[in-house]
Structure 1
Amino acid sequence: MAYECIDRHVDQGLGDKIALNYKDEHRKESYTYKDMQRLSNKAANVLSEHAEVDKGDRVFIFMSRTPELYFALLGVLKIGAIVGPLFEAFMEKAVADRLENSEAKVLITNKALLPRVPVDKLPNLKKIVVVDEDVEDNYIDFISLMETASDEFDIEWLKSDDGLILHYTSGSTGQPKGVLHVQQAMLVHYISGKYVLDLQEDDVYWCTADPGWVTGTSYGIFAPWLNGATNCIAGGRFSPEQWYSMIEDFKVTIWYTAPTALRMLMSAGDDIVENMTCHRYVRFYQ
């Protein structure tokens, strides 16, 4: 999956095309497909060498939406491991239930969310990778290790029925259940992105769903990159001003969001809106 999302486009001469636009209160950054290839290779080397991640391992990501989340996720996939994204608003029990049930070997998180991880109750969890500054010695320092890691990595080639990503159901009708998506799912991600979302290579696309839920990975990560589009990510808390500035600054052409979010934007009034003419269309998910 990681090769088809990123490296394939570099091999086809699109390495200088913007793959990721990111913005939060403190950062505004853009990364080309070549950048994403290089940084995900670095992440794969950090995780394989220092966290001992191997093919088939279950690696969970519990962190805020930052570019590093996407470098790490792609790195996990390049190793051939199975990634499990967790919703960053989860509290201790929800985190523990999913990590215990999945028998996750490695967790990637940040310092703000680390207190919600009951490490002493998770005997299968062998390594914790912290994506932050000033990391304690008993954790793996992702940021520092990324600086010196090689940007070359031999991708693990997988079969169509090998594991890709492990999502859990919401648990609204009982205990959350793990649902393993396999590599072959990329065909549906690609086709639905191309023909339902109408993603074109010159589109600038923004899906507001959190990667802790299936919409946020299927249509917030895989579909746009499989189709060679530019993907936009907003970090931090919801803010009408920030969301409008995302659209205006990055000239978003396709916006995939929730009706609730649109109602919240409408309630903020029209005075903070400057220019929305870049849109080709808006689609909604539930």
Structure 2
Amino acid sequence: MLDPAQQVRDWLATYDSPTASVAHLLCDRHPHDALAVTEVGPDLLPRDLTYGELAERSAALAAAMADLGITRGDHVATLMGKGTELAVAAVAIWRLGAVHVPLFTAFAPSAIAHRLVDSGSRLVICDDEQRPKLDPGEDVPADAPWYVVTTGPLALREGDRTLAELTRGAGSAPAPVAVGGEAPFVLLYTTGTAGPPRGVEVPVRALAAFHAYHRYGLDVADDDVYWNTADPGWAYGLYYGLVSPLLAGHRTLQLRAGFDPELTLDVLAIFGVTNLAAAPTVYRTLRATTKTLPPEIAVRRLSSAGEPLNTDVVGWAADTFGVPLRDHYGQSELGICVGHQNHEDGAADVRVGSLGTALPGWSVTVLEPVADEEAPVGAFGRVAVDVKASPLMWFRGYRDNPGASAARFTPDGRWYLTGDTGSRDREGYLYFSSRDDDAILMSGYRIGPFDVETALLQHPAVVEAGVYGVPDELSGQTVAASIVLRDGARPSEELAEELRDLVRARFAEHAYPRRITFVDELPRTASGKIRRGRLRPTGG
């Protein structure tokens, strides 16, 4: 077996090649009879899709999209849950050399429309239950410039077509388009605190980074039953629940149901999951609701990402599953770049409280709080990636946002600034302290205060809103808000519930503030920015 450094070089040579085709790399080169996706419904019945079937169905859909005029470089969005249909749609998009724009199904119409308009998407493929969010209204223009295709006939509108109808009369399947390593194949939006969502263009060469984490961070073996529970509308679920297993020719398990601890245990037992990756909230919830595991569960690898793990959860996992739970760290702009490796080539004892060390292909350290030089061992500072020493580094900047892009790099371009703070020990283990940008990490989702504040300010009684995160035993953090009301408006629990409903309707179902405090004014800096650190005591 190749050493990790040589393996990284080999992956880069393949995925950063001018002849690189995403559909070929993720589908066509694999044995056609091998399983690619197993979709599991709430009834726990499996629906298998082989690589051969994925190739055939995605080719038919690609031909149909080509008939609509979709071509290389066009943006095509999906508003779909986990499962076989999403895999077919994504590979079909990549077969044409087009760019996949994943949309989180919990988003409200306003958040969806913003991303569709900003990306210039020409086509939206959506599940039936998501179709009403694309209806013309306050947020969605009546003359929207995108086609809508639904997975079924239940929510059809005039002008829509179903996937079955679209592919029935399609022309011949096009050959997979080779776009090369620098061309984007995904446009993913990540939330911030000081402005609208930022577009992250993921180039084909990033496949090397995703494959490296799949191999060394997760240690997914050929005979594993691999399950990443994260939603593919976000980076961890997309990069490592859909892309990396297909890239490696492995099967990915996709549960098409909401999270439930009993259902999770059933899936682990019935399908014989041996390699599990999930957000900390999954493990925390299992810990709170599970006393003993069914004897059929025999997981050999446990991984977590999205927010730091609590030490008690790490201990519980080791006692309950009999294997260590390994913490991993990354961002939408990087993928996972730090962690406790599961692979035997770099595996080490779990250092409780640490995020682990830089994974193969990455160099991550801590810089001084102000100066762009490495901080002493044990000192707190800014977590940063050494760009020149990280061959897997692929992020170059945000789409059409030079200001936000420049803020991520030091002036000389050597360091990528994660926006997080922490420290490192003498052996290179990193310890997380806080997020500089105040993003809220709830159940593995990254929620930008700006998005929630924007929704809250649409209520006629609200003058100002300050949104922040508060610790939560199960979710890691939950959303809280301090609200300044207009003269004459009175605080009440009824008003608080109206504000929660507004966030659900105008931004996302999962992002409503669990705690709302009505205040006379918000703490601000001399320049007028909200001091979010001072909101927390105000919120109780």
Structure-1-length-normalised TM-score = 0.90
- Give distance in 1, aligned partners of 2:27 and 2:209: 17
Comparing 33-42 and 211-220, the one that deviates more: 33-42
Question: Any idea what SS the aligned residue of 1:121 has?
Answer: coil
What is residue 184 of structure 1 aligned with on the other side? 205
Distance in 1 of aligned mates of 2:203 and 2:157? 35
Q: Verify: 1:116 aligned to 2:137, yes or no.
A: no
2:40 match: 23
For the pair shown, which has the larger CA radius of gyration, 1 or 2? 2
Taking the aligned partners of 2:196 and 2:108, their CA distance within structure 1 comes to 15
For 2:173 and 2:37, locate their aligned partners in 1 and report how far apart those are by CA, in whole Å: 20
Sequence identity (%): 27
Query: Do 1:105 and 1:124's aligned partners in 2 also have CA atoms closer than 8 Å?
Result: no
Q: How many matched pairs?
A: 280
- Select which of 41, 48, 60 maps to 2:66: 48
Residue 285 of structure 1 and its aligned partner are, at CA, apart by 0.8
Unaligned runs of 5+ in 1: none
Equivalent position amino acid for 1:96 in 2: A
Q: Which runs of 5+ in 2 are unaligned?
A: 1-21, 307-540
Give 2:82's aligned residue. Answer: 65
Q: Indicate conservation of the 8 Å contact 1:200/1:227, yes or no.
A: no
CA RMSD for the aligned pairs?
2.1
Give the match for residue 284 of structure 1.
304
Query: Which stretch of structure 1 is more off in the superposition, 240-249 or 100-109?
Result: 240-249
Q: CA separation of 1:150/1:195 partners in 2, compared to 1, >3 Å: closer, same or farther? A: farther
- Greater helix percent: which structure? 1
Counterparts of 1:138 and 1:88, CA distance in 2: 22
Q: Deviations over 1:250-270 (max 9, x none)?
A: 221211101101122233324
Give 1:100 shift.
Answer: 1.2
CA deviations on 1:91-126 (whole Å, 9 max, x unpaired) are: 011111111111111111123112222545275633
TM-score computed with the length of structure 2 as normaliser: 0.49
Alignment-derived partner of residue 278 in structure 2? 257
**Residue of structure 2 aligned with 1:33, choices 51, 62, 79:** 51
Q: For residue 172 of structure 1, report the CA deviation from its aligned partner.
A: 3.6
Q: How do 1:70-219 residues align onto structure 2 when only pairs under 5 Å count?
A: 70-119=87-136, 120-121=140-141, 125-134=145-154, 135-146=156-167, 152-219=173-240
CA distance in 1, matches of 2:221, 2:292: 32
Report SS of the residue matched to 1:171: coil
Preserved contact between residue 226 and residue 275 of structure 2 (Cα < 8 Å)? yes
Matched position secondary structure for 2:200? strand
Over residues 202-248 of structure 1, what are the superposed CA-to-partner deviations in whole Å (9 max), with x where a residue is unaligned? 22211111111111111111111211221110002112232222222
Displacement of 1:19 after TM fit? Answer: 1.4
Query: Aligned partner of 1:200: which letter?
Result: A
1:146 CA displacement: 4.0
Q: Is the 8 A contact 2:37 2:83 kept in 1?
A: no
SS in 2 for 1:29: strand
For the residues of structure 1 that align with 2:196 and 2:135, how far apart are their CA atoms?
Answer: 19
Counterpart residue type for residue 233 of structure 1? Q
What amino acid maps onto 2:49 in structure 1?
Y
After the TM superposition, which of the residue ranges 266-275 and 237-246 deviates more from structure 2? 266-275
Evaluate the alpha carbon distance shift between residue 125 and residue 248 of structure 1 in structure 2; reply closer, same or farther with a 3 A threshold: farther
Structure of higher RCO (CA pairs closer than 8 Å, 6+ residues apart): 1
